[in-house]
Each structure stands twice: as structure tokens, then as C-alpha cells.
Structure 1
Amino acid sequence: MAGRGNDPVVVVGLGRFGSSLAVELARRGTEVLAIDSRPKVVQSLAGKLTHVVAADSTDLEALRQLGVPDYYRAVVAIGTDIESSILTTSLLVELEIEDVWAKAVSRDHGRILERVGAHHVILPEHDMGERLARLLNGRMLDYMGVDGNYALVKTKPPREFVGVPLARSGLRRKYGVTVVCVKGQHDEFTYAAADTVLSYGDVIIIAGTVEQVERFTELP
């Protein structure tokens, strides 16, 4: 997540997504205040998280008592309880948390979260499903969407661009994508240059619009 370095983070809702996020942040050295309304869930994470408490995140006074207004960033990871998700998000905005991330279970839920002030809305299940569909269709080895309609894709080079220097291949002119990095069969990734010649065993990272990279990875 973008923001101010390693600032402490509040994570509200400790289901699979929230607990995994909180534990991974803590493992990376980020101070985490983890909150869930279920004492058993809190107890199960006590050995993994330093600051994990049972509290009602829809109670404004409870959030104040926990010192939540002192945090720069918060993540609302509440899943199926949509009402609590929306109310918690609105309270964090009311407490003037500068960077509020909220998990949504549907696009409609996400739109409501945006309306109540969430700065970022996450749809983990939808995003993972979309990513998997792209990986299963064509020659994509990995896919990362960037800012809406732009993407980075790891793939193999199509036959027509093997054995030709990139500067002479016409790849960008024909398909609109740019080869950013190249990895040989026994090498590490290196930046692609004008004189880079692709081989059949290479793995490349390309950049372009979603439409462009999809078209490119469908080439034989």
C-alpha cells in the first residue's frame, strides 16, 4: 500500500484476509493495531500480534479509547457484515484517518464504501478471479494491473519476435507494448535494450494497456 513508509496500521476485522494482512505487516516490521469484535478470534492471534484487541469497531468512543485517531492508515477488512463494514469505514473517516482502505465483497458494496469516504476499495475475491482468468487464457505467466487500464505481464516471446533485435522487430509499432525486462533460461531478469535478441526459452515482462497485452499474449 502506498503511503508514508512504515507508519503503524490499524486493521479492523480479522477474518482470513484481515488476519493474514495483519500478521504479514507485523512480520515486515510494521506496528499493527488489530481489532475484531470476536474474543475467540482475538485470542487465537495473541501469539502472532503484539497489539490485538476485542472491540466494537462501530462504536466511535471505543475507537477513540484505542487511540485509533493517532494512526495515519487503517484497513477495514470486515467481510460479510456489510453494515459494520460501512459504519466502521465512515467512523474512521470521521476520525480523520488520512488513508483508509476498505475491503468490499461486491461492486455495489465498494461504491458505498467510496461514498462514505474510503480512499481505496479492495475487492480481493474479484481481483483474484479476474487475474486467474487472465492467466488461464493465453500465454501469461503472471499479470499485474496498474492504474485501471494499464498492465504488466510476464510471458514468453511470440515466435515472430524470436531471433530479431527489439529495435528491428517493430513490436511496439505493431502491438503497442514495450518489453521491459528479459530473463534467459539460466539468467536473472535484466532490462531490455534496443539490441536485445529474444530466444524461445526466455521469459519477458511487457507493459501496455490491458487490450494490448492480451492481444500480444495470444500470438503463437
Structure 2
Amino acid sequence: MDRWLLIWAITLPFPLKNALHADSINSRKARPLKTRSFAVIGLGTFGSTVASELARFGNPVLGIDTDERHVTRLANTLTEAIIADGKDEAALKEAGVGNYDVAIVAIGEDLEANILCTMNVKLLGLETIWVKALNRTHHRILTKLGADRVILPEQEVGQHIAQMLHNPLVRDYVSLGNGYHVVDFKVPARLDGKPVNDPAIFSKYDLRPLGAMRENQFLSCESGDLKLKEGDKLLLLGKRVDLRHFGDDLRYGS
């Protein structure tokens, strides 16, 4: 049946195709976004930032901390904020943590509380558990306990900053694994007006341009007719060494 629907759509008159496409886009826009619910346990700097941002995105967020000051500060920001001890399984159960989709254990320096809280939310049956770790040893312990994602915030942020300092033309990046990165690369004056498909620009470095942000507009590189403009945010895919060589050659005129 799907095959015949596809054939039918391909043979439609062009204006009708456009109308159906527009209806599809409008229906997607009108469709409410699915949200997940989050329980953030530990409302220090890290936990409160995560909780506040999740709430700002429109998600139901429960915040839990033993410090009344932290809870009071976020009472009007989160869906619910309560004083409770993450080491106490009964307290977490009474707070309804087991009804949430995701738990973020953001307890800071108290290693024992962090581990016990992770065990408790695991026992409550949450589908996904993210935990803040203090060090590599702690990371291994939390992984053994079944945490879905273990975060080392200082290390991860430090690596992120070092990558941008390493290559000054890189504004931001995402690691894809196996040595590959997607970087947000600021187009310098030297590339102004150059076509993005110019083999002299990227092929030498084994890099692939994916698209560019120009002010508030995303410009695709698929057609190959895009001409770069100074200040564009160009998305480049490649290995770190190639990205560094590319940046150095542009800066130093090689």
C-alpha cells in the first residue's frame, strides 16, 4: 500500500504536490512536541543549571536537594522543587521520582550520597539515569552500578575549551568518534566569495563542508553553488589534524 501511495504522490500535478507538502509542514508545526519528565537530584551550580534549562525547554522537572536555600531558589522555575535526601530510597519514592522518565544525579562532593542516590533511582526503575562523577574511579563505579551516562563536567568542558584554543578559527565542535569532528568554523576574509565546491579549499585537507549559517539563515552545501562570505559559520566534517592544518594555513597564509 505504501508503494502505491508513493507512486500516486510522484504523479500528482506539481501545484498539488506543493500543497500537500505545505500541509505536511503545517501539521508538523501544529503538532505539540513530545516532552520527557526529569528528576534532578542535587541543585548546586551544575544541577540547578541543568534543571533550569530543561524547564525552560518546556519539560516537567522535579528538583530535589537537602539544602532549603537551593530548593527555594528554584521553586518558581521548576514544576516542583522539594527538600529530600537522595540517600533515602523511601524519600525519593514518596517524592514520586519513580514516575519520571529520566533522573539526573547531580550531587557534588559527597561521594557516598552520589553513589547511594544512583542505586536508589536505579531501584525505583527509571528508564534513564545520568550521573555526575567526581573522578575516573568514581566514573567506573557509577558505570558498574548501571548509570546510562556518567558525566565529568570539568573534564568535558576543559576538553571542549582546549579544542577551541587549539584551533582559533573553530567556534564550537562536536566529536563524532573515531577521530572525526563537526566544527563551527568562522569563515575568514581570505575565503570571502569563494565557492564552497572549490577543490583547492577543502579536498587538500580531506574535509567536507556540510552547510553554513549566515545571520539567521542556514545555507546547504548540497548543490555546490554556495559562495562563502566572511563571518559565515561554516560546518565542517573532518579529522582534528586536518582541521588544524586547514586553520593554520588560512591564518598564516600557506
How far off is 1:215 after superposition? 3.4
* TM-score, normalising length: structure 2: 0.74
How far off is 1:123 after superposition? 1.9
**C-alpha distance in 2 between matches for 1:49 and 1:204:** 36
User: Residues 164 and 171 of structure 2 are in contact (CA less than 8 Å); yes or no, is this contact kept in structure 1?
Assistant: yes
The aligned residue for residue 150 of structure 2 is 121
Residues 68/215 of structure 1: CA separation in 2 closer, same or farther (3 Å cut)? same
How far off is 1:35 after superposition? 0.6
The aligned residue for residue 50 of structure 1 is 79
- Structure 2: unaligned runs, 5 residues or longer: 1-32
Counterpart AA for 2:227: V
Counterpart AA for 1:99: T
**C-alpha distance in 1 between matches for 2:138 and 2:203:** 41
User: Residues 191 and 230 of structure 2 are in contact (CA less than 8 Å); yes or no, is this contact kept in structure 1?
Assistant: no
CA shift digits 1:20-42 (9 cap, x unpaired): 11122222221111111122322
**C-alpha distance in 2 between matches for 1:123 and 1:115:** 16
The aligned residue for residue 103 of structure 1 is 132
**C-alpha distance in 1 between matches for 2:213 and 2:62:** 40
User: Residues 220 and 226 of structure 2 are in contact (CA less than 8 Å); yes or no, is this contact kept in structure 1?
Assistant: no
Counterpart AA for 2:75: A
Map 1:13-28 → 2, pairs under 5 A: 13-28=42-57
* TM-score, normalising length: structure 1: 0.84
- Structure 1: unaligned runs, 5 residues or longer: none
Q: 1:9 is matched with which residue: 38, 57, 63?
A: 38
**C-alpha distance in 2 between matches for 1:124 and 1:96:** 25
My pick for the range that moved more, 48-57 or 144-153, is: 144-153
My pick for the range that moved more, 202-211 or 22-31, is: 202-211
Say whether residues 1:150 and 2:180 are aligned partners: yes
User: Residues 60 and 78 of structure 2 are in contact (CA less than 8 Å); yes or no, is this contact kept in structure 1?
Assistant: no
Q: 2:99 is matched with which residue: 70, 92, 103?
A: 70
For the aligned residues, what is the CA RMSD? Answer: 2.6
**C-alpha distance in 2 between matches for 1:73 and 1:201:** 39
SS at match of 1:181: strand
How far off is 1:199 after superposition? 4.6
**C-alpha distance in 2 between matches for 1:111 and 1:122:** 11
User: Residues 193 and 227 of structure 2 are in contact (CA less than 8 Å); yes or no, is this contact kept in structure 1?
Assistant: yes
User: Residues 171 and 186 of structure 2 are in contact (CA less than 8 Å); yes or no, is this contact kept in structure 1?
Assistant: no
SS at match of 1:167: coil
Q: Which structure has the larger Rg over C-alpha atoms?
A: 2
Say whether residues 1:59 and 2:79 are aligned partners: no
The aligned residue for residue 65 of structure 2 is 36
Q: Tell me: higher relative CO, structure 1 or 2? Use CA pairs within 8 A at least 6 residues apart.
A: 1
How far off is 1:18 after superposition? 0.7
Say whether residues 1:169 and 2:204 are aligned partners: no
The aligned residue for residue 195 of structure 1 is 225
The aligned residue for residue 12 of structure 2 is none
CA shift digits 1:29-62 (9 cap, x unpaired): 2111111112232223223333111111111111
